[in-house]
Structure 1
Amino acid sequence: MRAVRVTRFGGPEVLDVSEVPEPVPGPGQKLIDVTVADVLSLDAQLRSGWGREWFGQTPPYIPGTGVAGLHEGRPVVAMVEGGYADRAVAGVVIPVPEALEPVQAAALLQAGPAALALAEAAALTDGDRVLVTAAAGGLGTLLVQLAAASGAHVVAVAGSDGKRALALDLGATRVLGYADELPEVDVAFDGVGGTVGEAAFARTRRRFFAYGVASGSPAPVQGDRVTGMEQVQFSPERHAELTSRVLGLAARGGLRPVIGLTEPLHRAAAAHEAIESRSVLGKTLLVV
């Protein structure tokens, strides 16, 4: 079968498409014919060699942790290892509602549970002032929608006019760039980290959720108001439950996954280049 491998740490050019042995399901595992592979900014960071002390990746390896595909002829999504491939094995598969296309389901598989868990932990109520950094990313676009649906006044921070226009379309009441002064808010969702997260924390009065490191480092903040990465780390059972709820919400029209770029599997390097250029609105996916 075809698979994309990280042959060594480095830029997108280290991604190589080659023929590899098909994975064999172990006890309790299921084989999935992959149709769509989710692409994360974390995939690109790990490919570059960042985070080795935490994730332990050693080339050569097949990146990708989430896929949509077919299991025994049924459309499913699943968390996997080695998702940039024709086939992958999973311990838990989640059925996809008929109303959703595979690309939509794949776009929601990893960002959706995180967004739902964050929004519920924040216990947002009507009139809350909410800040979302990286508001045009795969997770940020969902947080903007969920916060707006709760009745919150959403301030979205994004890096370009197009990204800010998207945030307004998704329900934000105000948009800012990263050089703008931030208003005081009740709750902040920070997917950037670094100095951006630090500035957001300084303007947050109730809860600060630090879940992303798009800048390459976490926000240097601490205290009772801070909730970190643990809020978006789930057991397989919890992830499956959240995923089913998110897919159902999207199937009913209550949540819109934003898909900014799809590339065929053999163009995984182009997908990584786009992510690293920060030019993509919403999710990036590989169509297998």
Structure 2
Amino acid sequence: MHPAGGYKKLFETCEEFAEPTPAQVTGEIPAWLHGSLLRLGPGLFEIGDEPFLHLFDGQALMHKFDLKAGHVTYYRKFIRTDAYVRALTEKRIVITEFGTAAYPDPCKNIFSRFFTYFQGIEVTDNCLVNVIPIGEDFYACTETNFITKVNPDTLETIKKVDLCNYVSINGATAHPHIEQDGTVYNIGNCFGKNLSLAYNIVKIPPSQKDKSDPIEKSKVVVQFPSSERFKPSYVHSFGMTEKYFVFVETPIKINLLKFLSCWSITGTNYMDCFESNDKMGTWFHLAAKHPGEYIVALTYTNCSNDALIPTQLTIVPIPC
């Protein structure tokens, strides 16, 4: 039985297109509407006999719709990530995804396979979630520290970028905020003071006059403390206004100790390390944008309680 059950249609593998294909248009597209629309999603759901078990595990496929003079062409191409290229080369799932664990090469002897487990965590670069503009370039991204630069015209993969080389984060969301001038703000967890977990707001400036890469000028502008030292909350997105950052720290936690030990010894996936802290409630964090300064944390009881009452107010400025 297919792991998707009744949703098998969502898990069907797609083929790349060799060239843009005219699309059939129902109705009428205004002649003045022209441009390109880029989208990302999963497109490859099995490697040989090994299936990907979660919708978020399918390998990244970029879609492009070109609109001109009332006509539309469609084109798609797989992003050449390490996860994709190595899987096709080795004919097996090589890098663990959100809901699918990868295992050592079965062709290795027992000793080589054993030591493979202790070579550290290999984080996926399967950037299937979103495509974002940074400066004059476009990057495919997921929720890890890796983003992939792509050519928006040909959909060719250009290069893989590790955000950890520029700012202190372990990963970043796939849903940053982009201001009118092109400035990008995102959030990711990190290790703060005394090795305690924290969450950093990262700023990537807009296009540079000297044509340098804006990512090289990335910086942390403010840091939110974590409610638990070894269990960061899952972060999908955050809020931003003209003057403030708003971060909602939820009770959905990632057990880091389980993540490290299970991954290194038994083999597991990201999803297996999620757990819920029913006693935590929800924390609302507020920080100023200019200058970057942590202002307050509001802790609320969970939604099953009779009343939502603030239980903690703190003001802790953090230099940026």
Give the TM-score band, short-chain normalised: under 0.3
User: Which structure has the higher relative contact order (CA within 8 Å, separation 6+)?
Assistant: 1
Q: Please, what TM-score do these two structures have when normalized by structure 2?
A: 0.25
The structure number with the bigger radius of gyration is: 2
Identify the structure with the greater helix proportion. 1
